[in-house]
Amino acid sequence: MLSEQIKQDLIAGQKAKDEKVVSCLRMLKAAITNKEIEKRLKIVESNPNLSEEDLSNQSRLNDEEIVEVISLEVKKRRDSILSFEKGGRMDLVERETAELNILKKYMPAELTEEEIRTLVRDIIGRVGASSIKDIGIVMKEVVPQTKGKSDGNLVGQIVREELSK
């Protein structure tokens, strides 16, 4: 399970005294815990009579949910890198890039630009999109298939390019 892998890597990072890995994985574990708390609250609202054991079991995140949390953290890093580059803060760019590389280890393999382009073309043909006005329809179909496997900004850019042809 992905949570066990993160835990083991955190322990290994602590033993190796790798501050970047330890810091990044602690942040990731905190984000996962926050998401589990959020999930737990929703479960309690819908079923207040659950036992503590059942509640604990149901509120644990599965691998797919953990990948969603990691995806959000990856997006934050990418956005931060762009902002820090614009501000000329190369020291912070390096830190965020290092964290991004650590987080990517836990993500599924990313789709290549050509794979995204092929998927977008297939969807455009299937839904009958013909102009840039149809971007919402296409994105609605593309996003679930690329979620966690590619950068949303890149997907949006490719959809715009393909609809503009």
High-pLDDT (> 90) share of the chain, %: 56
Burial class (CB in 10 A: 0-12, 13-18, 19+), 150: buried
| pLDDT at position 20 over 90 | yes
Residue range(s) occupied by CATH 1.10.1510.10 in the chain: 2-104
Measured distance between the N- and C-terminal CA atoms of the chain, rounded to whole angstroms: 43
pLDDT (average), residues 41-48: 88
Residue range(s) occupied by CATH 1.10.10.410 in the chain: 113-164
- CATH code linked to domain 113-164: 1.10.10.410
| pLDDT at position 108 over 80 | yes
Would you mind telling me the total number of residues written for the chain in this entry? 165
High-pLDDT (> 70) share of the chain, %: 100
State the pLDDT at residue 164.
Answer: 84
Q: What CATH architecture does domain 2-104 belong to?
A: Orthogonal Bundle (1.10)
User: Phi and psi dihedrals of 76, rounded to 5?
Assistant: -60, -45
